Structure 1
Amino acid sequence: MSGLSRVDASAVARWWRNLDRVTLACVGLLIGLGYVLMLAASPAVASRIGASRNMFILKQVIFLALAGAIVLGTSYLSRQAVRKLAIIGGIIALGATAMTLVHGMEIKGARRWIALPMMSVQPSEFLKPCFAVVTGWLLSARRSVVMWGNIAFPGMLIAFLCFGFILVLLKSQPDIGMLSVITMVFMTQLFVDGLKLYWVGLCVAGMAGAFAVAYIVFPHVQSRVQRFLHPDVGDHYQIDTALRAFGNGGLLGRGPGEGRVKDLLPDAHADFVFAVAGEEYGLILCVGIILLFGIIVLRTLLKLMHEDDPFVIVSAAGLVTGFGLQAFVNMGSTLHLIPTKGMTLPFISYGGSSAMSVALTVGMVLALTRHHVGPSRISQKTSVPYGQSPLFERNAP
């Protein structure tokens, strides 16, 4: 691709020139690390449950290959196509999430998964990117779309109704962690969209109140918070083992295949894969992983500072917030910085639903932040004031 001429006006050439290749390279490195750490962590887990040692590896090879294809394919879409994909995908994800309450697999007291051949799917994973883009469209469209009688499009009202429906579904599963992430995404988008500070304060107070209610209503939430605040309460085996793994790894790690945490933790290939990285490859690799996630988030936010389309600004801000929060929750839980929550590390932890939903998230970010410059506009750029851009303009791929 690097050999494409700058005068090449083909769709592929323009896509490649306008793509954020640094972010794409970071995603490629994360996928590569996913393969390496899956080779390190999964054989011991598979043997412990009586399966073939290569079962998780072979599945993850397919999952990450599909994830890479989804990133590239989605990044090629126009902004209008991203919006349509989010609406259709969001409707399907909502229906499938509702279906889990009736026909879902129950694991550890929660119904979040639908059984399919060779894998189980967690539909709520796909709600995050679709909801972020749909909300971005709704919030921005209310400024530019006028309905009958000069009445503004009720985008914010519809966005709140969608959020309320998702809240009821995720509370019923229950999946408080996913609900917390989606709530943070929504609050971030409202703030970026221009929500007044006193409303922001009310939203924060509402979230604190909702957390207090969850602490009272859900025993597993209370248990996790109690174990986080009081080291002498409950079972701390997984966290203590993970923290010892980081200590054993030191700066450079014990070496590939020399770690012991994968033999001790049942979720070493999923929720605690960061501990495997710390023990076998040391602090250097852990810092490198954090930097890769940080570069993706910061580059996206910096690109949005030069963007003039409110749909892109609000949508991409929500997408990258969800992506960054997921990474923080996984690593923070492993390091005992926050109460434990079963959430995967993007592109690195084992899981098909997670890998493909995160790939969809990053692909949408790359598509929205591409320089959408058509062949006749190569040498000029028209600046549009915030809130007045043509949201439904067809963009060149």
Structure 2
Amino acid sequence: MSFGRTDTSILGRWWWTVDRWTIAALLTLAGIGLLLTMAASPAVADRIGAEPFHFIRRQFIFLVPALTVMLAVSLMSPRQVRRLGVIGFGAALVLLVAVLFLAPEVKGSTRWLNLAGISIQPSEFVKPTFAIVSAWMFAESRLNPGFPGRAVACGLFALTALLLLKQPDVGQTLVVTAIWGTQFFLAGLPIVLVVALGALAAVGAVGAYIIFPHVQSRIDRFVDPSAGDGTYQVTTALNALKSGGLFGRGPGEGRVKLVLPDAHTDFILAVAGEEFGIILCLAVLALFAFVVLRGLTRVMHEENLFVVLASAGLLVQFGLQAIVNMASTLRLMPTKGMTLPFISYGGSSMLALALAMGMLLALTRKRYGSEEFER
């Protein structure tokens, strides 16, 4: 693709204002994800009685529209991103409510809706859209002191967290809390409230441990692996990483995918380490770090508060989700079923992350020209 600098068409202006390095990093992650899905999923498909390329085909089917969504959304102005976020957040909340009444219970949780034969996890879509709406409310509160933006943002956070905990999904609640807390802090949260909310977060963590048996079980097993037999997947994943060494055992030579039920999703990093070595794992880590740091650099001198807050929220979601997945695999934190962005198998996660990164690309474009594009 090539456009002259004098090209004033929508695509021409997009090409010279969008962060092409971030796009390249995200496409590289998606390519690595396809490679690892091809390595990990045939064994999983065989265990459930599906044909060998079942997950590979579905991953590709979701990846194409996901990348299309990402690039299409990146064409938007900040104002259009804000409108999309409001509409998407409203739809996500409706689906979160529907989940409580219509979704089947799986492993003690109700998180998935079946719409027209497609399984959708609404909590994946609520994260990026919440980041946009919350950023808008905090920004309006600063720009218009009489507008109750902070109160609205706090109310929307409480509603979202309540709906997520009713499923229950403590992990997604943690991510939404991190998004909201980061934006509140950047919007000028007084230091007294910073301390108060920090203490409240600690109380909430203790409450989750007491209220939710699965949270208690995971933390107990993390602190004392001998407390139960639920450490099998983590122990197996660590052994796979050790056996892979620096350069791996070679494509197709891994064994962890033959025994781990979640080798293509939560523990796909173990497959990467065993077959392609620590080198690939470090490359993946570097790509995630690059996207986050590059995004923060792009908004460092931004004057539009909404753009700063929304970008920060989207980057926190992206980076935290990657950290949780990798840290769980390496037993640096209690296990939490959270996908590795653009790499793990999963349609809802892929589409929601593509939406989030499309919004980020749109918000971090160099803005000049018309008022609509500026704002």
| Structure-2-length-normalised TM-score | 0.98
Distance 2:161 2:361 in 1: 28
Matched-pair contact (CA < 8 Å) for 1:245–1:276:
yes
User: Match of 2:123, as an amino acid?
Assistant: S
- Within the candidate set 214, 224, 249, 2:218 is matched to 224
Structure 2: unaligned runs, 5 residues or longer: none
Distance 1:306 1:25 in 2: 23
Distance 2:242 2:300 in 1: 40
1:249 aligns with 2:244: yes
Superposed, 1:195-234 pairs within 5 Å as 195-234=189-228
- The equivalent of 2:123 in structure 1 is 124
- The equivalent of 2:367 in structure 1 is 372
Distance 2:129 2:114 in 1: 22
User: Match of 2:280, as an amino acid?
Assistant: L
Shift of 1:198: 2.2
User: Match of 2:85, as an amino acid?
Assistant: A
- The equivalent of 1:388 in structure 2 is none
Matched-pair contact (CA < 8 Å) for 1:171–1:179:
yes
Matched-pair contact (CA < 8 Å) for 2:120–2:348:
yes
- The equivalent of 2:185 in structure 1 is 191
How many residue pairs align between the two structures? 374
1:155 aligns with 2:149: yes
Shift of 1:374: 1.5
List 4+ stretches of structure 1 deviating above 2 A: 116-119
1:315 aligns with 2:310: yes
- The equivalent of 2:102 in structure 1 is 103
Distance 2:7 2:94 in 1: 43
Q: Can you list the C-alpha shifts for 1:302-361, whole angstroms capped at 9, x where unaligned?
A: 111110100000111011001100000000000000100000001110100000000011
Structure 1: unaligned runs, 5 residues or longer: 146-150, 376-392
- Within the candidate set 155, 164, 168, 1:170 is matched to 164
Shift of 1:373: 1.2
Q: Can you list the C-alpha shifts for 1:228-273, whole angstroms capped at 9, x where unaligned?
A: 0012111211011000000010000000000000001001000000
Matched-pair contact (CA < 8 Å) for 1:119–1:352:
no
User: Match of 2:115, as an amino acid?
Assistant: L
Distance 2:162 2:29 in 1: 34
Matched-pair contact (CA < 8 Å) for 1:143–1:152:
no
Matched-pair contact (CA < 8 Å) for 2:265–2:344:
yes
1:305 aligns with 2:283: no
1:326 aligns with 2:321: yes
Superposed, 1:56-95 pairs within 5 Å as 56-95=55-94
Distance 1:220 1:394 in 2: 48
Distance 2:369 2:61 in 1: 35
User: Match of 2:199, as an amino acid?
Assistant: A
Shift of 1:4: 1.2
User: Match of 1:43, as an amino acid?
Assistant: P
Distance 2:88 2:298 in 1: 26
Distance 1:194 1:77 in 2: 28
Distance 1:117 1:346 in 2: 25
- The equivalent of 1:239 in structure 2 is 234
In structure 1, the residue corresponding to 2:226 is in which secondary structure?
A: coil
Provide the alpha-carbon RMSD of the alignment: 1.2
User: Match of 1:234, as an amino acid?
Assistant: G
Shift of 1:118: 4.7
- The equivalent of 2:354 in structure 1 is 359
1:4 aligns with 2:3: yes
Shift of 1:54: 0.9
Distance 1:190 1:143 in 2: 11
Matched-pair contact (CA < 8 Å) for 2:142–2:187:
no
In structure 2, the residue corresponding to 1:111 is in which secondary structure?
A: coil
Matched-pair contact (CA < 8 Å) for 1:105–1:115:
no
In structure 1, the residue corresponding to 2:105 is in which secondary structure?
A: strand
In structure 2, the residue corresponding to 1:115 is in which secondary structure?
A: strand
User: Match of 2:226, as an amino acid?
Assistant: D
- The equivalent of 1:265 in structure 2 is 260
